[in-house]
Chains A and B, each alone.
Chain A
Amino acid sequence: EIHIKEPIEKEVNPHLLPGELLLCEASTVYKYVQEDGSNRGTYGKLVCTNFKISFLDDDSASDDNEPQFKNKIVGENDITLQCVDQIYGVYDEKKKLLTGQLRKYPEKLIIYCKDLRVFNFCLRYTKEEEVKRIVSGIVHHSQTPKLLKRLFLFSYASAAPNNTDGRNQTVMFETLEDWRDELERTKGNVKYKAVTTNEGYRVSEKLPLYFVVPICISEESILKYEGRGIPIWCWSCHNGAALLKMSTFPKEQDDSTSQMQKAFLDGIYKTISKPPYELLKMDDLSSSLPSLQDIQTAYTRFKQLFLIDNSTDFWATDVKWFSLLESTNWLEIIRRVLKKAMEVAECLEIQHTNVLLIEESATDLCCVISSLVQVMMDSYSRTKSGFQSLIQKEWVIGGHSFLDRCNHLHKSEKEEAPVFLLLLNCVWQLVQQYPPAFEFTETYLTVLSDSLYVPIFSTFFFNSQHQRDTNKSGESLKTQSGPFRFLTVWDWSVQFEPKALAFLNNPLYAEKPKPDRSQRKTARFKHQRQLSLPLTQAKPSTKRGFFREETDHLIKNILGKRIGKFINSSDEPPNSLREFYDSWHSKPVDYHGLLLPRIDGPEIKVWAQRYLRWIPEAQLHGGGTIATAAKILDLMEEVQSLQVKMDEEHSQSVSGDAHSVPMLRNSARLSSLFPFALLQRQSVKPALPTSTWKDLEDEDDLVKRDDEFVDLSGDML
């Protein structure tokens, strides 16, 4: 199927991807620009395909102000079926959640998206027949349980032209080689080995085809309990300490079985606690972190703050913004996760112990913590390809159940939990605290979070490597001889033009200096810095500080009780974490070394770009940080071009092309919504005493008053 861009004519046709089928449509649908009571909007056609819900503007001729940052797959008015969060119908001013079968059809449709957009469609002017079809179509395709094979992923993969596999630098961890390379890179290959025991998924369908275990672990023990109770390697620290994860045994009724399991575990612990292995520290994440349930509850409440129906709603909730935010507990969860990751980092870095993360499936919070630890400790994970490889290793191949956790198939609400989003939120905290340490920008993270809901990439649409492999073969499609060729989300050129891709790269990122001879000095310096940590740690007197309480008290007074509580609680474990934290923060930051987030209350922020980008009321017309960043980019660009010029004059040699920097020069004024939305509408908070405004607005009233005064004075007519 070749798609030719339709010439602009009366009939607007949806832009269909290969394999995309138009399922139903309705015309003369009115889309509100933003439900602010002004009823401004446009007429158009609402269509539903097997990929997306799309609104086609009747007069969409305005192609001239093409946004700078545009997604090629999902347009401004497109909502992929997986991106739909909830659909509400409005019946006589009353909102009702739409699921499953409908008896009555609403006059208005409100679609809340998982990427936090909100669409308001008015169906009052649409033919009844079409209303029925489109509403039930949308509800059916986006809200009801689905078979995996009905995901658009498969139709796209079978219909799309054989896309040339743009070999990017992301390590996919699908082969033994990838694992061996990773072992070598982290110098873990002395004590750990990549095993092929799971070929053919003999051990478990949940484990990846290849994985890494301590050398001393035998094949039999791996096979014994389907890989449960086996420490699986995640990453090795520069000092040899390793981060491991392990899935536990399910609660066993049978006493003898649990006895055997216990004995098995003891055996395992014994073997990997002996030299050459470092001391082992275990951390049961199910008890030391919030449950998935808690995370889901918190996020559900949190996102509600940003799914705003209309301007009035916004200003009504704005009054209570800070307490609402507090009550969601989402930021607190982020902080607890960051703190846990720092604890693990401290064990690895300072105490030289191995850390074994334990979780029932070892594919949820284990992934979050192990990824975060690597982002903090391994500067490779802070490059774009390194981060993508990390996501591949820990999440995609590691077996995080994306399908279930995102509830893509609407199978069970209970399984849903924004675990991956939690990781992105945590990484964002680091990115905004230490922008120069990351090769990617927050826009990259935002776009990555959006890609969770774009079902043309296989990356986030399987529960495990096994599930993907078994569904890849394409046996059900007779026409297709070969296996499906899925796209990976890491091929960003599928979604973005090169111009837009520049927004994902941090122009201020400086690559890690290669450890060549001339730079050995800096390398040694870095090493020293790491060595010096335990030394400084010994310096503070062991005597109890009197002022801890005093400071806490002060902080409590300033910042409120909740935060004070946190600062206290961080003292409770042996103070090593606090010391680690303090001593690291008292030194200049090495952007290529260990990176610890600041976790004091005020430092944990709302990821404004992701959550506020569609809310015009919350936009900063001056641009806020984005304007500063744009200015920096401008300057950078100028510096670079000058440098190039100087080099040229210097050696007459043409130097290589400089980093591509987003061309922001011409955009005179950026609002904080940039680059996602270019909204300019002003919304001013209604003044609290509305009566005053009414007084003002009632011109007649004023005129009368003035007249009265004139009459009274009598000296002027």
Chain B
Amino acid sequence: PGSRGLLHSEDEVALRCIHKLVAASSFSKPKVLTAASTLKFIPEELAVFCRDFRLLHFCFPENGLAPQAFRVANAIAQAREAAAWLGDAADGWASPGEAPPEEEEEDKDGDDGSSTTLLFENLRDWEEELQRLGAAGWRVSAVNERFDMAPSLPQYLWVPSGLLDHDLKRIFAHFQERRVPRLCWHHPAGGDLLRAASFHPASEPGSEDVRWVPGDLGWGAERKRCSVVLQGGGWKRLGGGCKGNPPHHFVPPEPSDRDLNCLLASLVQLLGDPHARSLPGFQSLVQREWVAAGHPFPHRLGLLCQDSPREEAPVFLLFLDCTWQLLWQFPADFGFTEAFLLALHDSSFSPYFSTFRFSCQRQRGHSSLPRLPSQTYRPMGGWQDPRGHRGDPRPCSFPPVWAWGRRYTRQQREQFRNPAGPPGPAGSLSPGTPTDPCPWGGPRLVLTLAKGSLCPQPLPWWSRPPLRPPLRGSPPGSQGTQGGLLGTRQPPPGLLLPCTAGPCVRLWHRCYLRGLPQEQRGRLAPSLAGLAEELQLLQERLRAW
């Protein structure tokens, strides 16, 4: 009991969640069913391989149901194909035929996490978060408010306060998909984490526009100590950053800035920012670094069937796995549990959430607002606008995945919270430090993560800013970030340094083996949460005595 809500039900599967459909009979070989290749025999067994690692196995008894079995099998194959097509072409419009029959319960008792989760769809969220980070020298720019600067970027961007929108606009063209460098996270000790796409091939680094980017950006005015280390690689995770190092800037560019940058940016924050490890903080993080930042979920999750397989890549699922690795290594530092990650994993194959249905904020907005016919620009991904609205005039809005209350009972949602996690809601990190005067202010070292390693200053325009040599005071021994990590006996508070050694990287059983019945039972096993509950009950009773 208890696992029911996680999967919609044990025996249900969303059409898009079907990975493979196989029919078999005793007279012929098992056959993979698609819409194109239909069944030529009457199946006796039907196996549905799900993307969430379940295997639904149906047997048709030989008592006159044969034609139905045939029809059902073919219908599923067709419907699956149809559902997938729709997802893409309709650009997020709900199809009249696809409306899911299940999930009608309107269990609106408290929005739980979603109320405190910043969706980063309005200006206030961005302002609020920037304030929490205490990133002085940065501001929210609304230059992309109409998505005309960069269609795949969110409406609001964090840019240096010294940079005027007017000047900012000239930078866009120099980056692929017009994804300019912008702030992701501000370390309390002063370092900043930025992300950007790589340069547009047509961009001339030396050109006027770019040259004065840095000068005016004034990146360096408030330079403090910080460094961020990243170790990428395989299914392993990243090392973290720490202070005590010369000032670093860090930009992880990848060609598109829409996949691995999301992964790295959010992992770094998980390691460094206690707030990101709380339940609402984590949701906000995903919202900002993945959803708003334009991670192409439908493509990467393989929810569109005509996509070339190359488009499919479980980047987000990799992120969930990494998060789980951190979670089991640091059980006392997270406000959420494995059950929460599993629920999120499950939900990523469900088509009913705006979160995973769209590739960027712009697209997401269109799905809920009546579209103006006079759209002038096209989505950058190259996919065409559909043939306008059809039929359904009702603007259909999907809930974000964070509306857990709609799908999970209160009891189940209780299991999302880690009672052993850090006490209280994680506030801003060390609030005293944001305006900490820099001991050796001046040079800012800008590092870029490229091809798996951090390189200093590969961006030509970084050579322009006024740089002064570092003061003598900088600790010579701990120059490299590695030295800094080694030097500290204990990681600074709030920073997680996961073990990346082979024996410490585990298989996420409950996720990948959840098709097995015993794993399903254990998923919401009464463990810590149960004990904590009992404790509370006892305390209450004692008080009432």
B contact residues around A712 at 8 Å (CB): 463
B30 partner residues in chain A, CB cutoff 8 A: 546-547, 549-550
Query: B481: nearest residue on chain A (CB-CB)?
Result: A696
Contact B469 A321 (CB under 8 A): no
What 12 new A-B contacts, CB under 8 Å, besides A315-B501, A627-B330?
Answer: A550-B22, A621-B497, A635-B532, A635-B535, A642-B535, A684-B239, A692-B453, A693-B480, A696-B479, A699-B474, A702-B445, A706-B469
Can you list 15 A-B pairs with a CB-CB distance of less than 8 A?
Answer: A546-B45, A547-B24, A554-B49, A585-B517, A586-B518, A620-B504, A621-B496, A624-B504, A632-B528, A636-B531, A643-B538, A649-B542, A696-B454, A696-B481, A715-B466
Does B503 reach chain A (CB closer than 8 Å)? yes
- Is the CB of B365 closer than 8 A to any CB of chain A? no
Q: Is the CB of B501 within 8 A of A321?
A: yes
Take A621-B499, A622-B333, A712-B463 as given contacts and tell me if A642 and B420 are in contact as well, using a CB distance cutoff of 8 Å: no
Q: Smallest Cβ distance from B325 to chain A, in angstroms? A: 10
Question: Once the chains bind, are A624 and B538 in contact (CB under 8 Å)?
Answer: no
* A558 contacts chain B at the CB level, 8 A cutoff: yes
Asked if A499 is an interface residue, CB under 8 A from chain B, the answer is: no
Q: Which of B98-146 contact A (CB under 8 A)?
A: none
Q: Is the CB of A547 within 8 A of B480?
A: no
Question: Which residues of A in the span 610-627 have a Cβ within 8 Å of any Cβ on B?
Answer: 611-612, 615, 617-625, 627
Q: Does A163 contact B (CB under 8 A)?
A: no
B455: interface (CB < 8 Å): yes
**Chain A 627-670 interface mask (CB, 8 Å, partner B; 1/0):** 11001100110110011011001000000000000000000010
Please encode chain B, from 405 to 445, with 1 for each CB lying within 8 Å of some chain A CB and 0 for all others. 00000000000000110000000000000000000000101
Query: Which A-chain residue is minimally distant from B28 (CB atoms)?
Result: A546
8 A Cβ contacts from A506-556 to B? 541, 543, 545-547, 549-551, 554
A594 CB to nearest chain B CB (Å): 14
Q: How far is the CA of A558 from the CA of B25 in the complex (A)?
A: 25
Q: Which chain B residue has the least Cβ–Cβ distance from A694?
A: B480
B494 interfacial by beta-carbon distance below 8 Å? no
Q: Which residues 314-363 in B have Cβ within 8 Å of A in the complex?
A: 326, 328-333
Given A586-B517, A618-B499, A623-B331, A698:B531 Cβ within 8 A: no
Question: In the complex, which residues of chain B have a beta carbon less than 8 angstroms from the beta carbon of A642?
Answer: 535, 538-539, 542
Query: Bound state CA distance, A631 and B529, in angstroms?
Result: 11
Cβ–Cβ contact B503 & A646, under 8 A: no
Q: How many residues of B contact A (CB 8 A)?
A: 83
Assuming the A-B contacts A687-B453, A692-B453, are A631 and B476 also in contact, with contact meaning beta carbons closer than 8 angstroms in the complex? no
Are A697 and B503 within 8 A (Cβ)? no
- The answer to whether B374 has its CB under 8 Å from any CB of chain A is no
Q: Is the CB of A149 closer than 8 A to any CB of chain B?
A: no
Q: Which 10 A-B pairs have the closest CB atoms?
A: A321-B502, A622-B330, A716-B466, A546-B24, A631-B420, A697-B480, A696-B480, A692-B453, A635-B531, A709-B463
Q: In the complex, what's the smallest C-beta–C-beta distance from B524 to chain A, in angstroms?
A: 14
Contact with B along A684-717 (1 / 0, CB 8 A): 1111110011011111001101110110110110
Shortest B246–chain A CB gap in Å is 8
Q: Which residue of B lies closest to A683 (CB)?
A: B486
* Neighbour of B518 across the interface among A554, A585, A715, CB < 8 A: A585
Q: Which residues of B contact A543 (CB under 8 A)?
A: 26
A573 at the interface (CB under 8 A from B): no
In the complex, per-residue mask of A668-690: 1 if CB is within 8 Å of any chain B CB, else 0: 01001000000011111111110
Would B328 and A698 count as touching, CB distance under 8 A?
no
Docked-complex contact A600 and B513, CB < 8 angstroms: yes
- Verify A621–B517 contact, CB threshold 8 A: no
How far apart are A717's CB and chain B's nearest CB, in angstroms? 9
Q: Is B521 interfacial (CB-CB < 8 Å)? A: yes
Interface residues in chain A, defined as those with a beta carbon under 8 Å from any beta carbon in chain B? 314-315, 318, 321-322, 325, 541, 543, 545-547, 549-551, 554, 558, 585-586, 588, 598, 600, 602-603, 606, 608, 611-612, 615, 617-625, 627-628, 631-632, 635-636, 638-639, 642-643, 645-646, 649, 669, 672, 680-689, 692-693, 695-699, 702-703, 705-707, 709-710, 712-713, 715-716
In the assembled complex, the CB of A308 is this many whole angstroms from the nearest CB of chain B, namely 10
Q: Does B507 make an interface contact (CB < 8 A)?
A: yes
CB-CB under 8 A from B466, the residues of chain A are 710, 713, 715-716
A-chain residues with CB within 8 Å of residue B485 when the two chains form the complex: 682, 684
Q: Determine the main DSSP class of A at the interface with B.
A: helix
Chain A residue nearest in CB terms to B499 = A620
Asked whether any CB of chain A lies closer than 8 Å to the CB of B306, the reply is no
Closest A-chain residue to B507, C-beta based?
A: A602
Q: Which of B462-510 contact A (CB under 8 A)?
A: 463-470, 474, 476, 479-483, 485-486, 488-491, 496-504, 507, 509
The residue in chain B whose Cβ has the minimal distance to the Cβ of A598 is B518
Min CB distance B149 to A, Å, is: 28
Cβ contacts under 8 Å, A710 to chain B: 466-469
A620 engages B498 (CB within 8 Å): yes
User: Which residues does chain A contribute within 8 Å of B488, judged by CB atoms?
Assistant: 682
Which residues of B line the A interface, CB within 8 A?
22, 24-26, 30, 44-45, 47, 49, 55, 57, 59, 229, 231, 233, 239, 246, 326, 328-333, 419-420, 443, 445, 452-457, 463-470, 474, 476, 479-483, 485-486, 488-491, 496-504, 507, 509, 512-513, 516-518, 521, 527-528, 531-532, 534-535, 538-539, 541-542, 545
CB nearest neighbor in A for B530: A635
Judge whether A692 and B503 touch: CB under 8 Å: no
Q: Of B239, B483, B545, which contacts A649 at CB under 8 A?
A: B545
Q: How far is the CB of A686 from chain B (nearest CB, A)?
A: 7
In whole angstroms, what is the CA distance A709 to B464 when docked? Answer: 7
Q: Contact between B22 and A617 (Cβ–Cβ < 8 Å)? A: no
The answer to whether B513 touches A602, judged by C-beta atoms less than 8 angstroms apart, is yes
Cβ contacts under 8 Å, A586 to chain B? 517-518
Whether the pair B503, A619 counts as a contact (CB closer than 8 A) is: no
Please give, as numbers and ranges, the residues of chain B lying within 8 Å of A638 by CB-CB distance: 535
Given contacts A642-B535, A682-B486, contact A627 B26 (CB under 8 A): no
User: Are B45 and A686 within 8 A (Cβ)?
Assistant: no
B residues in contact with A713, CB < 8 Å: 463-466
Enumerate chain A residues within 8 angstroms of B532, measured Cβ to Cβ: 635
A623–B481 CB distance below 8 A: no
Output the least CB separation between B312 and chain A (Å): 16
Set B331, B454, B464, B539: member contacting A627, Cβ < 8 A: B331
> How far does the alpha carbon of A17 sit from the alpha carbon of B509 in the complex, in Å?
47
Chain A residues within an 8 Å CB radius of B246: 699
Kindly report which residue of chain B lies nearest to residue A324, judged by CB atoms.
B502
Instruction: Name the A residues within 8 Å of B498 (CB-CB).
Output: 620-622
Least CB separation from B443: chain A residue: A706
* Closest Cβ–Cβ distance, residue A468 to chain B (whole Å): 39
Are B468 and A608 within 8 A (Cβ)?
A: no
Q: How far is the CA of A396 from the CA of B332 in the complex (A)?
A: 42
B482 touches A635 (CB 8 A): no
Contact across chains for B332 and A623 when beta carbons are under 8 A apart: yes
Q: Which of A602, A617, A621 counts the most chain B CB atoms within 10 A? A: A621
Residues of A within 8 A of B541 (CB): 646
Given known pairs A558-B512, A643-B538, the reply for A622 and B329 (CB within 8 Å) is: yes
Closest to A323 in B: B502
Chain A: which residue is nearest B32 at the CB level?
A550
Residues of A within 8 A of B503 (CB): 321, 606, 608, 611-612, 618
With both beta carbons as reference points, the residue of chain A lying nearest to B248 in the complex is identified as: A696
Q: How far is the CA of A475 from the CA of B500 in the complex (A)?
A: 58
Contact across chains for B26 and A551 when beta carbons are under 8 A apart:
no
Contact B502–A318 (Cβ < 8 Å): yes
CA distance A550 to B331 in the complex (A): 37
Cβ-defined contact, A622 with B496, below 8 A: yes
When the two chains form their complex, are residues B521 and A682 in contact, meaning their CB atoms are under 8 A apart? no
- Do the beta carbons of A547 and B231 come within 8 Å of each other? no
Chain A residues in 8 Å Cβ range of B47: 547, 550
Of all chain A residues, the one with the shortest Cβ separation from B420 is A631
| Set of chain B residues within 8 Å of A699, measured between Cβ atoms | 246, 470, 474, 476, 479
